[in-house]
Amino acid sequence: MHKRKITLFITIAMAAGAPTAQAQVASKDAGYPLAAQGWGGKTGADTWLSRYVEDWSVLRDPAKRTGMFDGLKYIPFNDSGSAYLSLSMEQRFRGNYYSAIGLRDGAASQSPWLYRAFLGADLHVGEHFRAFTELAHGSYDGRNVTSKPVSQQDDATLQQAFVDLTGKWGDADVGMRVGRQDFQDGPQWLVTTRENANTRITFDGVRAWAIGADKRLDVFDYRYVDQQSGYFDDGTLSSKRFSGVLAGFRLAGTGLYLDPFWFHASDDNKAWGGKAAKETRDYFGVHFYGTHGALTFDTAAIYQTGDFGDRDLRAYSAYSTFNWKLSTQGWSPQLGFHADLSSGGGAYGTGTLHNSSILFGSGPYHSWGTWFGASNYMAFAPIFQFAPTKTTSVQLQYQRVWREDTRDAVYTSTGAPYAGTQLIGGKHTGDLLRLNTTWKVNRYVSFTARAERFLASSSMEDAGFGDATFFGGWMTFRF
């Protein structure tokens, strides 16, 4: 690990002295805005969570290569520049602290450290073909670490490896992607890249899309990657499948978007209430989001239906986040809230199952310590955010958490129940005091720190669970 630490800090030291002028990434959004096309979120002025979203062909002009690593972002293979390679890298070193493992009264504290490294290569050949490959490594260890999930500990994995075929169909941009890939389309509460973990959740399969000026269509069919902790031993998991169709509409003359969708998921070994069975679940939902004046919002409503073994499944969920910019001057204060509801009930019974599921959504959204997840869950949290400098931001939240059904358990972010909570009464689960800060040092380096305090309700205390504290901090280098 010492060699990895040395490599990390040497790389960051190099980046800290890099020019701050940013390469102007070529725009892919002459019509439908790129940020709403279903490729995920940005991590900086010219970098994205999924590195294949970035288009560095603008660096064909040597005069625009102003950054330290711009020579690696555009490596031409012919005189015309139509064939070129873009390289990418990410290193992240992180430390966490949990005051009580599993929220148990009197439990030992835990201090894991995490390290990850991604290395990507994006090959473009002409206007219609590209091949993208991304390798990943994750390390996980520390004080009182007794298990190492494969999402955290993976010696080496082929995280992504796909080919794209793209073209035009009338005025629309169309494409097909075949191979191993991540997926981020739809509401973040259902689908993300699992950014909190060392390695991403990825799939083997096919995705096709058509994107016009004011509407788009996304169709996909995937099998989960069977992630293992060794060297390049990650095959395709035949027991889990994920597929669906999503349409997107930009409301005329606005920055608002409406995305109806249908997702289908099947899992041969899903567990609810201590019993495992095959589950098939259909998600019928609508995602409404955008910016209007000083208001930015993100909402979704989902109805879920299917089967768990020989039992019917009926569930629902609704999420919303609203944020108002109070001023664009000074510290740019912002005020908002998020309100969430996910159904529960039936996990420990024999009738219809009502537990909502978030697929592979964002666990830290519900709790930065990943103590809670979106099943049998209700929450409301006022949010205050400000920027002390142009490169820093601070967010404060006070989040109150309840159960939707008191006859069902309280669940973690992974969907595991807190043992015995289904036997105690009381809707109130507890309160979360949350602090998140970021500092973007320059184009390549950023720091993030999070703190969260859980104040357990009397019902949680009756089940043997108590207050707890989480701290997390990490340093990220990307080029």
Q: pLDDT at position 6, please?
A: 37
Residue 260 belongs to what H/E stretch?
A: strand 255-272
Q: What is the set of domains in the chain, with CATH numbers?
A: 2-478 (2.40.160.100)
423-457 as b/e: b if 16+ CB within 10 A:
ebebebbbbbebebbbebbbbbbbebebbbbbebb
- Alpha helices, H only, 236-368: 363-366
Q: How does pLDDT run across 149-208, given as a tens digit for each residue?
A: 999 999 999 999 999 999 999 999 999 999 999 999 999 999 998 899 999 999 999 999
Beta bridge partners of 380: 339, 400
Burial of 10 (0-12, 13-18, 19+ CB in 10 A): exposed
Q: For residue 389, give every residue at least 6 positions away whose Cβ sits within 8 Å of its Cβ, in sequence order, or none.
A: none
What average pLDDT score do residues 364-378 get?
93
Q: For residue 320, what pLDDT band results from cuts at 50, 70 and 90?
A: very high
Q: pLDDT at position 227, please?
A: 93
Q: Given a cut of 80, is residue 54 above it in pLDDT?
A: yes
Q: pLDDT at position 16, please?
A: 41
- Range list of β-strands (E), 170-231: 172-181, 203-211, 215-226
Residues in the chain: 479
Q: pLDDT at position 361, please?
A: 87
What average pLDDT score do residues 354-360 get?
92
CA 292/CA 92 separation, integer angstroms: 35
Q: pLDDT at position 105, please?
A: 83
Q: Given a cut of 70, is residue 12 above it in pLDDT?
A: no
Q: For residue 228, what pLDDT band results from cuts at 50, 70 and 90?
A: very high
Q: How does pLDDT run across 408-459, given as a tens digit for each residue?
A: 999 999 889 999 999 998 999 999 999 999 999 999 999 999 999 999 999 9
Q: pLDDT at position 384, please?
A: 98
Q: For residue 20, what pLDDT band results from cuts at 50, 70 and 90?
A: very low
Q: How does pLDDT run across 91-121, given as a tens digit for each residue?
A: 999 999 999 999 998 899 999 999 999 999 9
